Structure 1
Amino acid sequence: MGRLGEDLAAEFVTRLGWTIVERNWRNKFGELDLIAADGRRLVVVEVKTRASRVFADPVAAVTRDKLRRMRRLTGMWLAQQEMHWPQIRLDVISIQLDPAYPLDRERAQVRHHVNIVE
């Protein structure tokens, strides 16, 4: 399910006109799901996918600790890059799959949460 959610999120940002710079970048401290460019803005995207209705929106599963980890990992990723990004933003894309048909991409609800901060 996680891979399906990440694929849906990647398709969503591509339709927005963004360029995917990297998917599933990881090091020993964690992972960044999607790193994309919206023009000259770098957008680091956490993807949360759920097939149950435990949360009204899967974004509710993104904790303060997760946001801190995203910022730290983003800094580590940036330290390895030669390109300078004048703007950097953290977003969440939540994917709510239909519990009865979790693999049906057409039934998935995609929500984009822009500039998530603690």
Structure 2
Amino acid sequence: MPNPSPSNYPDIGTLGEDLVSQWLESCGWKILHRRWRCRWGEIDIIAEYLGTEGKEGKERATPRENDISASAGNRHLTLAFIEVKTRSAGSWDTGGRDAITTRKQEKLVRAAQMYLAKYPEKSDFNCRFDVAIAFAQKASEYNNTNKNFENIASVSTPHHFLMLQEYIPGAFDSFD
């Protein structure tokens, strides 16, 4: 059996999750789990944000995210279940957006409920479902002077260049 190609999709997916995890940590989030699994499926990243109010009473928020609302005293508690979609040029599913079907959302909600049952101390957190869209390009095809995409964060590896193009907090409804 031949060795897998360095450009196979599982490797690109892992690299996309690494990029998103690093970006979240740089924004003050704590990564609790990567690829958390249960019988309903897998959650790519589970992260918590323990925001605190600043001097002016305004909470510190991550870029493009202003909706942290649950609080305990002066601490704002958010638990994000994050689906990461990493795609290369020419993907069939609009860069991963079309892969977040109603069925996929239901599986993520059920998996999150299983997570909260296993970790009941997190049940008071404001829970939400975020989606991260990343783009991967082979390093040999990447031209730094001709960027086609705006990005939030990026990383280079010997084989790929990855960009976090979009981070959607509360991408779909979760808990009633």
What TM-score do you get using the length of structure 2 for normalisation? 0.60
1:31 pairs with one of 30, 39, 42 = 42
Describe how 1:86-101 pairs up with structure 2 within 5 A: 86-99=125-138, 100-101=141-142
Describe how 1:3-14 pairs up with structure 2 within 5 A: 3-14=14-25
User: Could you say what secondary structure the match of 2:20 adopts?
Assistant: helix
Question: RCO higher in 1 or 2 (8 Å CA, sep ≥ 6)?
Answer: 1
User: Could you say what secondary structure the match of 1:108 adopts?
Assistant: strand
User: Could you say what secondary structure the match of 1:17 adopts?
Assistant: coil
Unaligned residue ranges in structure 1 (runs of 5+) = none
The match for 2:80 is 43
Describe how 1:1-118 pairs up with structure 2 within 5 A: 1-39=12-50, 40-54=77-91, 55-83=93-121, 84-99=123-138, 100-101=141-142, 105-106=155-156, 107-110=161-164, 111-117=166-172
User: Considering only CA atoms, is the larger Rg found in Structure 1 or Structure 2?
Assistant: 2
* Matched residue count: 116
User: Could you say what secondary structure the match of 1:114 adopts?
Assistant: strand
Distance between the aligned counterparts of 1:14 and 1:60, measured in 2? 27
Identity percentage over the alignment? Answer: 29
Unaligned residue ranges in structure 2 (runs of 5+) = 1-11, 51-76, 143-153
Distance between the aligned counterparts of 1:17 and 1:66, measured in 2? 28
Runs of 4+ with deviation above 6 angstroms: none
Distance between the aligned counterparts of 2:31 and 2:22, measured in 1? 10
Deviation at 1:15, TM superposition (A): 1.2
Deviation at 1:116, TM superposition (A): 1.2
**8 Å CA contact retained: 2:97, 2:133:** yes
**8 Å CA contact retained: 1:48, 1:93:** yes
Distance between the aligned counterparts of 2:29 and 2:86, measured in 1? 21
